[in-house]
Each structure stands twice: as structure tokens, then as C-alpha cells.
Amino acid sequence: MATTTLRPAVTGRSDPVELIQPVLDALNSIIVGKPNELRLSLACLLSRGHLLIEDLPGVGKTTLAHALAKVMGLSYQRVQFTSDLLPADVIGVSIFRRDSGRFEFHKGPIFSQLLLADEINRATPKAQSALLEAMEERQVTADGTTYALPAPFFVVATRNPAQQIGTFPLPESQLDRFLMQITLGYPGPAEERQLLANGDRRDLVDKLPALLSVDTLLILQQAVAKIHLSEALLDYVQAIIAHTRESGEFMEGLSPRGAIALIRASQAWAFMAGHDGVYPEDVQAVLPTVVSHRLEPAQGRETTPAGIGAAILDAVPVT
């Protein structure tokens, strides 16, 4: 398998693990007891995807997004999604200037490197649709003019459980644009004791230093996309895709976009682990987060998001 290395002249270090571990350490100092979820979040950013966090209020979703922006040195904007939110509140609005006799476009919060769409499912589908073009094409169109978004462009969206009051479902087209969905859950007893003793972690976020430059992050993203994929690994991924489409366990199988998302996430996980190519265990590590929001169990089948991924891995052997 081919080895992917960074350009030392730009990064100063050629080992990706040396670059990434301080970032993970900083994140773990803020969101305690969730090392795997933090690693998945960083993998999502490195693979140029977007992240959906579904969980109860108060478990650290917003804090995680803000901490990611700080340690990666990214410009950050937060939009609180509510039932009266309009697409223009996210994208921006054209305002007529009398002195020039022209309309002038005022950019909205979407023109940031990390956009937090907080409680996205409390907004109507019309407001949610403001993100579709941006997430897929990294641009927005307003009044017939197209505007490029900054690079990198990373959407972190939080959503409350569907059974909570005042939520709207996310359409399949919106869900499919999120590379991963994770949950944080309650902290363990030891971590919760630490939180109770030391207070709110949000106060520590503002003190986080930027550990990577934007230029370095862009180089890392390029390196992730070049991580080697063997024919045997592609056979394994295609077997997983075929199972989702042909087993009858799901209403619909993985789309081509979902299949590509699985590859990209696996490359990022392999890169962070210092692997010289993608191994089956890299695919297995990210698969539940890539498929849980894309696959709906067939009628009569009940399972959790984590159970969906586990069932697929049990059903598809590594050959």
C-alpha cells in the first residue's frame, strides 16, 4: 500500500499523529470521557464532511462545536434554528443602497469556516433547505448570484430527539449531506464527578489556543483524500453496500453519496491512526456513524442507530 506523508516544509512535522494528538488532547480536556466521539468529529472534519450531533440538551453538543473551531483556528458562527428562522437569516440578504442605486448583498453567518446550526430540527424544512447547496457545493446562490464559501467549510448541526416538542423531521436529502452522525450521551460517573467539582467547561473553551493553522488543515484534508485503497478493501466496502440494498433489512440501501462518505470517513480514520492505507478495522470504526442516519429499518424491524451498524458488520465478513 502507498504511504501518504505531509509536506514537512509546510507543516514542520511529517507524522500526522504528531499533529493530531495535541488537538485531541485539547478537545478531551473540554469534553471529558468521550474520546471516541471526539476522534470521530475530527475525522469528519479531516474528510471534508459535515457533522450531525443528535442528543438531549445539555450534554455538550454546542461546546464541542465551539472547541473544534478554537483548536483548529477556524472562524466560527452560530445560528440558533427556530420555527421563525428564514433562509435569508442564514445565507444573507440584499439591501438596496440609495447612494449607488444598487442592491448590495450582506453575507449571513453561513460565510464562516465552521457553522454551528444549533437545534436544526426546530426550524421548518424551508429554513433547513438554506444549507443544502452550501453543504454539497460549498457555495450559496442569492438573487441569481453565486458566492463561494470559505475553505474549509464545516457544518456542525445539533438536533434534539424527534419526540421532543417543537421539532421538525430532517428530510432525507438533508440527512444524506451529513457525513457522520454521532451522539455524546451522559458522562460516566467519574467524568460527571469531575464536571460537578470543576464547573462548566464552556469557560475553558475561550482559553483554548489554535493548535493548527488553516493552511495546515487544508493540507491534512488533501492528504486524507490520497490514503491508499486496496482492491480487497474496496471489495469489502462494496459487500457492505450490497448488503444494505439487498438484505431486506432496510427500507432503502446506501446511496452512492453514502458509499463515498464511508470511504472518505475510513480514509480519515486510517490517516489519524498513522496507517499506510485503509484497513477493514478503519471501515468498521466509522461505519455506524456514517450509516445510522441514512438507513431506516424495514417495517417490523426495530433497532437503535448503533444496532444498525453492528448488524451490518456482523452480517458482512472480511474476506
Beta strands 145-148 and 92-97, pairing class: unpaired
Comparing 11 with 215, the larger pLDDT belongs to 215
Tell me what the pLDDT averaged over the chain comes to.
89
Give the pLDDT score at 302.
66
User: What confidence tens digit (pLDDT) does each residue in 53-75 have?
Assistant: 998 888 889 999 999 999 999 99
Q: Is the pLDDT of residue 8 over 60?
A: no
Give CA–CA dist 310/200, Å, rounded. 34
- pLDDT digit string, tens, across residues 228-266: 999 999 999 999 999 999 999 999 999 999 999 999 999
245, 253 Cβ separation under 8 angstroms: yes
How far apart are alpha carbons 64 and 52 in whole angstroms?
12
Predicted pLDDT at 162: 66
Would the pLDDT of 194 be above 50?
Answer: yes
pLDDT tens-digit map of 221-232: 999 999 999 999
Q: Which domains does the chain have, with CATH numbers?
A: 19-226 (3.40.50.300), 227-319 (1.10.8.80)
Query: Is residue 179 over pLDDT 80?
Result: yes
Burial of 193 (0-12, 13-18, 19+ CB in 10 A): exposed
Lookup: cell for 33: 470521557
> Is residue 284 predicted with pLDDT exceeding 90?
yes
More reliable by pLDDT, 170 or 315:
315
pLDDT at residue 300, as a whole number: 67
Query: What are the backbone dihedrals phi and psi of residue 109, each rounded to the nearest 5 degrees, phi first?
Result: -65, -15
- 4 has a pLDDT exceeding 50: no
Are 13 and 216 in contact by the 8 Å Cβ rule? The answer is no
Residue 94 has pLDDT above 90, yes or no: no
Mean pLDDT of 267-280: 95
Whether the predicted pLDDT of 146 surpasses 90: yes
Q: What is the pLDDT of residue 14?
A: 53
C-alpha grid cell, residue 78: 452560530
The predicted model gives 151-180 an average pLDDT of 86
Query: Which one, of 141, 70, 145, lies nearest residue 110 by Cα?
Result: 141
**Residue type at 277 in one-letter notation:** G
Distance of alpha carbon 182 from alpha carbon 162, whole angstroms: 15
Query: Taking 90 as the threshold, does the pLDDT of residue 46 lie above it?
Result: yes
Q: What average pLDDT does this structure show over 25-46?
A: 95
57 cis-preceded (ω within 30 degrees of 0): no
Q: What percentage of the chain carries pLDDT values higher than 70?
A: 93
Rounded CA separation 294/174 (Å)? 10
